[in-house]
């Protein structure tokens, strides 16, 4: 877990500087992790990207695993909170189908445009030791619960296809959305076009 070594970053009288350094380290780790995976993520690569000497990382995080654990948890929390904000901002009375459409938009924008953390999670969540993934997996479970509610609401108003098992349908949708991180490239067209296509396909797959 994340812990600062006493007598270093947190006691140097520069809390703001320490916080910014931590943020740079987390951002750099998310980028390296998303590109190289857990096994290929090295402290030297993180240090180079964060523009910090590699030994100095240990002033902020006791180990490579602590740093990666914090990235995974931070990213999973941010993704869940982003989805919650998007759904909460919808007008009262928004239909279940339109809420799912908004959730598709939120998922893809966060995954492909807003955060390397999301890609790091998608590519590494199932490859990490339990002590590194535990907090992140709890956040991912909470994220899935939001989607479970969205699909249940669609079923409650009679708009879920009779031949779609809710849990299976939800996981197939999330699997397809997650997989876009492996193949989508801006050269294929604008993100808005991908989102429109995904929204259409998801809703046509779930509804009669």
CATH class (in words) of the domain with range 9-206: mainly alpha
Is residue 131 helix, strand or coil? Answer: helix
Give the other-Cβ count within 10 Å of 46's Cβ.
27
Which token pair is 73? 């948890």
pTM comes to 0.85
How far apart, in whole angstroms, are the C-alpha atoms of residue 97 and residue 93? 11
The predicted pLDDT at position 17 comes to 85
How do the pLDDT tens digits run along the chain, 208 residues long? 333 333 334 444 468 888 899 999 999 999 999 899 999 999 999 999 999 999 999 999 999 999 999 999 999 999 999 999 999 999 999 999 999 999 999 999 998 886 788 888 888 888 888 989 899 999 999 999 999 999 999 999 999 999 999 999 999 999 999 999 888 888 888 999 999 999 999 999 999 9
Instruction: Please report the pLDDT score of residue 9 as a whole number.
Output: 40
CA-atom Rg of the chain in angstroms: 19
**Spatial separation of the C-alpha atoms in residues 62 and 152, rounded to whole Å:** 43
Q: How many CB atoms lie within 10 A of CB 194?
A: 16
CA 101 vs CA 104, 105, 172, 179, 203: distances in Å: 5, 6, 15, 18, 7
């Amino acid at each position: 877990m994340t812990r600062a070594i006493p007598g270093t970053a947190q006691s140097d009288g520069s809390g703001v500087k320490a916080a910014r350094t931590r943020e740079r380290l987390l951002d750099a780790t998310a980028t390296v992790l998303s590109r190289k995976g857990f096994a290929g993520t090295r402290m030297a690569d993180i240090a180079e990207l964060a523009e910090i000497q590699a030994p100095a990382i240990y002033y902020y995080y006791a180990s490579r695993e602590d740093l990666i654990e914090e990235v995974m948890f931070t990213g999973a929390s941010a993704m869940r909170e982003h989805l919650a904000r998007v759904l909460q901002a919808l007008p009262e009375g928004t239909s279940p189908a339109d809420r799912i459409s908004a959730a598709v938009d939120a998922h893809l924008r966060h995954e492909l445009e807003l955060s390397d953390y999301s890609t790091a999670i998608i590519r590494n969540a199932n490859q990490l030791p339990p002590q590194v993934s535990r907090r992140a997996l709890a956040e991912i479970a909470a994220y899935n619960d939001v989607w479970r509610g969205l699909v249940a609401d669609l079923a409650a108003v009679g708009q879920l296809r009779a031949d779609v098992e809710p849990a299976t349908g939800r996981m197939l949708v999330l699997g397809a959305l997650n997989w876009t991180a492996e193949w989508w490239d801006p050269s294929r067209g604008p993100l808005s076009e991908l989102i429109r296509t995904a929204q259409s396909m998801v809703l046509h797959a779930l509804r009669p």
